[in-house]
Every structure is written in structure tokens, then in C-alpha cells.
Amino acid sequence: MEQLLLGIKSLTIQQVIMFGIGGVLIYLAIAKDYEPMLLLPIGFGAILANIPVIPGIPGIASDEGVLGILKNAGILTELFPALIFVAVGAMVDFTPLLQMPSMLFFGAAAQFGIFMTIIFALLLGFDINEAASIGIIGAADGPTSIFVASKLAKHLLGPISVAAYSYMSLVPIIQPAIIKLITTKEERKIRMEYKEAKVSKTVKILFPIIVTIVAGIIAPISVTLIGLLMFGNLIRECGVLERLSQSAQNELANLVTLLLGITIGSTMSAESFLNVKTAMIMGLGLFAFIFDTAGGVFFAKLLNLFVKKKYNPMVGAAGISAFPMSARVIQRLATDEDPTNFILMQAVSANVAGQIGSIIAGSMVLALLS
């Protein structure tokens, strides 16, 4: 009875608010189907992290607790984000990008918001490491955001992770609104010619190897991210490791995502989460996401001034890393304007390029600040 009273007496209003925030994340995951594999464990992890700690008994999120051990072993060592990239690499098919290499430019252009947000965050008083970590949210790439934050701003890991995955889940809501605001109906109706080119198995195998070597030489700090992404893709494309490929896509992805989510949630203690900085990070994350989307669209518009075969500007918005959700959103918008307009393959190509672009952008930030 005394232990029960100790728990009740230790409970603060801030912890109760965090229970509510965790509940909201769980609701969004279940009722709205917003990134349920991540928002649900993050929400429950936030609840666990704010259970009152009785003196003498380690809390579950403390260094001696289960979630604290997982954080120290899996996130601060970069293990969980790295393993996620192996799984993502095994899921990604780079064939559309190899058929249309020019789409790489959209993967680069759609990272514009990252650097704009870094500047804006600096103006708001964040230090350079914090600003860089916040800016990566705009890539709509949760693992890269976690990886960069774990190196540069560990104390902001919770709000940055929540912002990154929240905006990833809101792609179908946010992107259409931005695109319609900055494009005309005629631009959204532009048709793009698609010629399917055969990509040999040799090319598919060489692609991850060459990208790893080139990226590793240019930015050695990118090897953990790009190297393991491409390793996963090599497992997929080699044709002799089908069981490993399926395991990476399913068992590995599911297990690491589960542990990553609940561990990220455990960093959301009331003391570290309920402050002005968290609100600013959520706002800056949205700012980054909007400018990344707009950057890709405006880049396509710029190209249209110089080329005969016009690009549909919406394809530029698919250059963010939210694969394949963004590509599907772009195709749906094209169909809304013209039911016979099919630009899915071009959007998928830009979306795949965004996977690479977000990792390179994160690596560039780390290289510049290391």
C-alpha cells in the first residue's frame, strides 16, 4: 500500500500530459493508420518513460532499465538506424531510377528545405549542431534523422524523431496542399513520356557497389548510412540470397522497427519533451518538410524553361525520402486532374533518388560538423 501511495504522490501534471501525448500518438496509429508501426510503439514508449519512479527502484527508461539499455546499445551506438537501412535497402528497387537517371537531380533538389531550415533554426537561437539535426527532419527520412541527432544533439532525439515520423505519416495530407498552392492546373496535367529500358542484372548488382565506393570516397562518414542501404539492396538484387532478402524485408525490419519505436518513445520524458524547444522543433520540422517539397517542384519548373519535353512539376515533390508514399500521392494528384495521365514511374524514380539524396544530405551535414 505504501509503494502504491509513493507512485501516486510522485505523479506530476507534466507526466499526466505526456500520458495524453502518448495516447494521441497511439490513436493516430490505430484510428488514422498514420505510420502505425512507429507511432504506436513511440506513443507507448512515451507512456512508459513517464511512469513515476519510486526511490531505490530503477525506472524502465533509466540507464539500468530495459529501455535505457536498448537506447544505449541500439540508438546511441547507431545500431538500430543502421539495421533499418539494411532492411530498407532490401525493400527498394532502384530499377526505375536506373531507367531514368535524370531523376537523381530531383532527389537532390528536394533536400533544399534541410539547409533553409538549418539557417532559420540558427536565427531562432539553436546552436549549429541542434539546427543541423532539426533540418534533417525535412528529408522525411526517420532513420537518417535519428542517426544525425544521435551524433549531434542526443538531448533532442525524442522531439526530432516524433516530428520526423509524424510528418512522414502526414505526406498524403501535407504534400497535396503545398503542390496545389504552387502549381497551376495546366502544370499538373503535363504528361511525361516514359520509355521502359531493360536494366541488366549486372547493372543492378554493380549499382550498390559503385554507389558505396563513390559515396565513401567523397564523404567517408556516409558509409554507415549509404553502405548498409546498398548492402541491403545488393542482397535483394544478387539473386542467390532470396531467404536473406526476405528476412531483411520482413523479420529484421519488423523487429528493429518495434525496438526502435518504443526506445525512441522512452526518451520522451516530461522534463525533456514539455518545453518551448519541442514546440519550435515541431514547427521547424513542418517548415523543412514544406520547403523540401516546394524545392523539388520549383526545380522542375526551372528545368521546364530550358527543355522541350516538359516535366510535370509534381514529380519534383516526390524527391523527398518518404518512399513509396510520396510517389503514390503524386500519381493520385495527376489522376485527379486527368484520369489518363500516368506519371507513377517517374514519381517512383524521383522518390528512390530521394532515398539516396536524404542520406547524402545527412552525411554532408555530419561531415561538415565533425
**Calpha distance 141→114 (Å, rounded):** 12
CB atoms within 10 A of CB 254: 12
pTM: 0.83
3-state secondary structure of 94: coil
Q: Where are the domains of the chain?
A: 2-369
Q: Are 129 and 366 in contact (CB under 8 A)?
A: no
Q: Is the dihedral of CA 223, 224, 229, 233 positive or negative?
A: positive
Give pLDDT, residue 103: 84
Q: What Cα–Cα distance (Å) separates residue 317 from each residue in 5, 114, 336?
A: 54, 14, 16
| b/e map 319-357, b = 16+ CB within 10 Å | bbbbbbbbbbbbbebbeebeeebebbbbbbbbbbbbbbb
Structure confidence at residue 122 (pLDDT): 94
CA distances (Å), origin 140, targets 167, 285, 292, 299, 351: 7, 9, 9, 18, 11
CB 81 within 8 A of CB 339: no
Output the tens digit of pLDDT for each of the chain's 370 residues.
Answer: 555 566 677 788 999 999 999 999 899 889 988 878 888 999 999 999 998 877 777 788 888 889 999 988 988 888 888 899 899 899 988 888 888 888 888 888 888 888 889 999 999 999 999 999 999 888 777 888 888 888 888 888 888 988 888 788 788 888 999 999 999 999 999 998 877 778 899 999 999 999 999 888 877 877 888 899 999 999 999 989 999 999 999 999 999 999 988 998 888 888 888 888 988 998 998 888 888 899 999 999 999 999 888 899 999 988 887 777 888 889 999 999 999 999 888 888 888 888 888 888 888 888 888 6
Dihedral-angle region of residue 229 (phi above 0 means left; psi in -120 to 50 means alpha; beta otherwise): alpha
Q: What pLDDT, on a 0 to 100 scale, did the predictor assign at position 224?
A: 86
The pLDDT value recorded for residue 6 is 66
Cβ–Cβ under 8 Å, residues 59 and 65: yes
Asked if 88 and 143 touch (Cβ cutoff 8 Å), the reply is yes
DSSP letters, 299-357, are HHHHHHTT-SSPPPHHHHHTTSS-TTHHHHHHHHHHHHH-TT---HHHHHHHHHHHHHH
Give the end-to-end CA distance of the chain in Å, rounded to a whole number: 52
Q: Which residues of 152-167 are buried (b: 16+ CB within 10 A; e: fewer)?
A: bbeebbbbbbbbbbbb
What does the alpha-carbon distance between residue 261 and residue 48 come to, in Å, rounded to a whole number? 12
Main-chain dihedrals φ then ψ at residue 241, nearest 5 degrees: -125, 45
| Neighbouring residues of 329: CB distance < 8 A, sequence distance ≥ 6 | 171, 172, 175, 176, 318
Q: Do residues 291 and 85 touch, judged by C-beta distance below 8 A?
A: no
**Residue 51 three-state SS:** coil
Lookup result for grid cell 514539455: 274
Ramachandran class of 56: left when φ > 0, alpha when ψ lies in -120 to 50, beta otherwise: left
Task: Give CA–CA dist 62/1, Å, rounded.
Answer: 24
Note the pLDDT of residue 301: 93
Whether residue 324 is preceded by a cis peptide bond, meaning omega within 30 degrees of 0, is yes
Residue 3 is predicted with a pLDDT of 58
**What's the rounded Cα separation, in Å, for the pair 13 and 17?**
6
Q: Which helix (H) or strand (E) holds 186?
A: helix 185-188
What pLDDT does residue 173 have?
Answer: 84
What is the spatial distance between Cα 81 and Cα 138, in angstroms, rounded to a whole number? Answer: 17
